[in-house]
C-alpha cells in the first residue's frame, strides 16, 4: 500500500436478528459479535440464510426483528447508502457502461462524499496499483477476464475506507487455480487494510483459511461460531461435525452401557463426561484421527470398501454394516476391497461425544454466538 490509510474498521453486532418473508423465517435468532478488524465468514449450505444475513448488514434486506449495530450506530433501518459499507457481489455487479476507472471511482464520486477529482484520481490509482490493474483502466468490464473483474469489484470496495467490507461468495465464479490465488490475495489485503470483513461462502476451505471467526449456519440459524480450529476440533453439534472437514467427521450412533459405547462394528470406552448422559450417544472421530489397528482390541472393525490413493496418504472407506466411515491411513496400509480392517482412535481425547437426539455436543465448548 502506498498510502497510510486511516483505520475505520468498526465492530458489527447482531442482536436477536430475524427475517421472515411471510411464509416462514429465512433466518432467526441471529446473535453475532464481530470485533473491529476481524475476518468473519458465514459458512453453510445453500439456502441456510447466510446471504440474507449479509444483505441485512448491507441494508438490502430489512430485518423483521432484532437490531444490527455497526460500531455504535444502530443501522437496522438505515438505507444502504448511509451505512458506509462496501460490498463485493458474487456477480461482481460492475457497471457495464463505465470503464474500469469509472467503476472504481464511482463510490468516491457519490454526492455525499464530495471527493475532489484530484483525490479521486489518487485513490483510484492507489487501489489499481495494489490490485495490478494499471494497464486496464480504460477498458470496459466486458473486455476483461473473470479474474480481472473480480479485482475491479474488490477495487471498487477498497477505494474508500468503509466501516465494514461485505463479500458475497466473491470467488465462486473463478476457476480453481485463480480461486486459490485470489484467496491468498484477499487474506493479504485484509491484513494490510486491517478492515472488518464479512465473507459469505459455502466453501469450507475458504472459510477455514481466511477467517478469524467462522459462523456456521443451517436452516436460518447459527449452528456454531468460533475460530476455525475450535469448530474443527470441538464442534458444538452433529451438524457442524459432519459439515466441516473433507470428508466430515465420522459419526457412530451407539448404546451406552457399562462405561462403553457399542454399536454395529464398534466398541469404544466412554469418557467420564459422557457416562451420565443417557443411553443414546454418538461418537465423532475425524478420518485423520483413526489409525490402522490389526489387533483384536481394535475399537472399530469392518471391511474395506474403497481405497483412494492420495500420495501422502490414502482415504479408506470402511463398511461397518449400517454405515460407511472414512479414515486417512498411511499409503503403506495396502488392503484390497473386501478385506477385514480394524481401526482405533489415534488419540482417544480427540473423539467427540454427542447426544444422538438433538445432536448437541457433550463437551464444553465456547460458542461465540448466542
Partner 1 sequence: MRTLSRIALVLACLLAGIVALGPILWAASTSFKSANRIFAVPPELLPRSPTLAHYANLIAEGVHWAFLNSFAYAAVAVLAALLFGATAGYALMRYPVAGRPAVLLVFLATMAVPGFAVLLPTQMLAAGIGLQNTWAILPILYAGHILPFTVWVTRSHFATVPRELEQAAEIDGYSRAEAVWRIVLPGAKPALLAAATFGFLHCWNDYVTGSTMVDAPELRTLQVALIFFQGFHGRDWGSLMAGVIIATIPPVVVFLLFRKFLIGGFADGSVKG
Stretch that binds partner 1, among 21-29, 80-88, 295-303, 323-331 (CB under 8 A): 80-88
- CA 253/CA 369 separation, integer angstroms: 27
Q: Give the closest residue to 46 by CA, choosing from 198, 201, 209.
A: 201
> Of 56 and 343, which has the nearer Cβ to partner 1?
56
271: Cα within 13 Å, side-chain hemisphere: 13
Among 3, 46, 111, 336, binds partner 1 (CB under 8 A): 111
C-alpha cell at 241: 461435525
Among 86, 182, 210, 351, binds partner 1 (CB under 8 A): 86
Inter-residue contact 198 to 163 (CB < 8 Å): no
Stretch that binds partner 1, among 107-115, 206-214, 276-284, 358-366 (CB under 8 A): 107-115
Among 1, 16, 45, 81, binds partner 1 (CB under 8 A): 81
Is residue 25 a contact point for partner 1 (CB under 8 A)? no
Stretch that binds partner 1, among 92-100, 124-132, 211-219, 288-296 (CB under 8 A): 92-100
Among 6, 97, 332, 349, binds partner 1 (CB under 8 A): 97
- CA 16/CA 68 separation, integer angstroms: 9
CB of 142 to partner 1, least distance (A): 7
Whose cell is 459432519? That residue is 242
Is residue 12 a contact point for partner 1 (CB under 8 A)? no
Stretch that binds partner 1, among 32-40, 85-93, 208-216, 257-265 (CB under 8 A): 85-93
- CA 170/CA 148 separation, integer angstroms: 12
Instruction: Quote the strand ranges of the chain, DSSP E.
Output: 12-20, 25-34, 39-43, 65-70, 73-74, 85-88, 164-168, 196-201, 213-218, 221-226, 250-257, 260-263, 266-269, 280-285, 290-292, 300-309, 314-319, 324-329, 340-345, 352-355
Among 1, 21, 77, 95, binds partner 1 (CB under 8 A): 95
Residues that bind partner 1 (CB under 8 A): 58-60, 79-81, 83, 85-87, 89, 91, 93, 95-97, 106-107, 110-113, 142, 156
Amino acid at each position: 500500500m502506498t498510502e497510510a490509510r486511516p483505520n475505520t474498521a468498526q465492530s458489527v453486532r447482531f442482536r436477536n436478528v430475524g427475517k421472515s418473508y411471510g411464509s416462514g423465517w429465512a433466518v432467526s435468532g441471529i446473535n453475532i459479535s464481530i470485533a473491529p478488524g476481524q475476518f468473519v465468514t458465514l459458512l453453510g449450505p445453500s439456502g441456510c440464510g447466510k446471504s440474507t444475513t449479509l444483505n441485512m448488514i448491507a441494508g438490502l434486506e430489512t430485518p423483521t426483528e432484532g437490531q444490527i449495530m455497526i460500531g455504535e450506530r444502530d443501522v437496522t433501518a438505515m438505507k444502504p447508502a448511509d451505512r458506509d459499507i462496501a460490498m463485493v457481489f458474487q456477480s461482481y455487479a460492475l457497471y457495464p457502461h463505465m470503464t474500469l476507472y469509472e467503476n472504481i471511482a464511482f463510490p468516491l464520486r457519490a454526492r455525499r462524499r464530495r471527493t475532489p477529482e484530484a483525490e479521486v484520481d489518487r485513490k483510484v490509482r492507489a487501489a489499481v496499483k495494489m490490485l495490478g490493474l494499471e494497464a486496464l483502466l480504460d477498458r470496459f468490464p466486458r473486455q476483461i477476464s473473470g479474474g480481472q473483474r473480480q479485482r475491479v469489484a474488490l477495487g471498487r470496495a477498497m477505494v474508500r475506507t468503509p466501516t465494514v467490507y461485505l463479500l458475497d461468495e466473491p470467488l465462486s465464479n473463478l476457476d480453481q487455480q485463480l480461486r486459490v490465488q485470489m484467496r491468498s490475495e484477499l487474506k493479504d489485503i485484509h491484513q494490510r487494510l486491517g478492515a472488518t470483513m464479512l465473507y459469505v461462502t459455502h466453501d469450507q476451505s475458504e472459510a477455514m483459511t481466511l477467517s478469524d471467526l467462522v459462523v456456521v449456519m443451517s436452516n436460518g440459524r447459527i449452528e456454531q461460531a468460533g475460530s476455525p480450529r475450535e469448530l474443527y476440533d470441538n464442534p458444538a453439534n452433529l451438524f457442524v461435525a459432519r459439515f466441516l472437514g473433507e470428508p466430515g467427521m465420522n459419526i457412530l450412533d451407539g448404546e451406552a452401557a457399562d462405561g462403553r459405547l457399542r454399536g454395529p462394528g464398534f466398541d469404544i470406552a466412554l469418557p467420564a463426561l459422557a457416562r451420565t448422559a443417557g443411553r443414546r450417544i454418538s461418537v465423532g472421530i475425524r478420518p485423520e484421527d483413526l489409525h490402522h489397528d490389526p489387533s483384536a482390541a481394535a475399537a472399530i472393525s469392518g471391511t474395506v470398501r474403497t481405497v483412494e490413493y492420495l500420495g501422502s496418504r490414502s482415504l479408506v472407506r470402511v463398511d461397518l454394516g449400517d454405515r460407511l466411515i472414512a479414515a486417512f491411513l498411511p499409503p503403506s496400509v495396502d488392503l484390497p476391497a473386501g478385506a477385514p480392517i480394524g481401526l482405533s482412535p489415534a488419540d482417544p481425547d480427540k473423539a467427540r461425544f454427542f447426544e444422538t437426539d438433538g445432536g448437541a455436543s457433550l463437551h464444553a465448548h465456547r460458542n461465540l454466538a448466542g
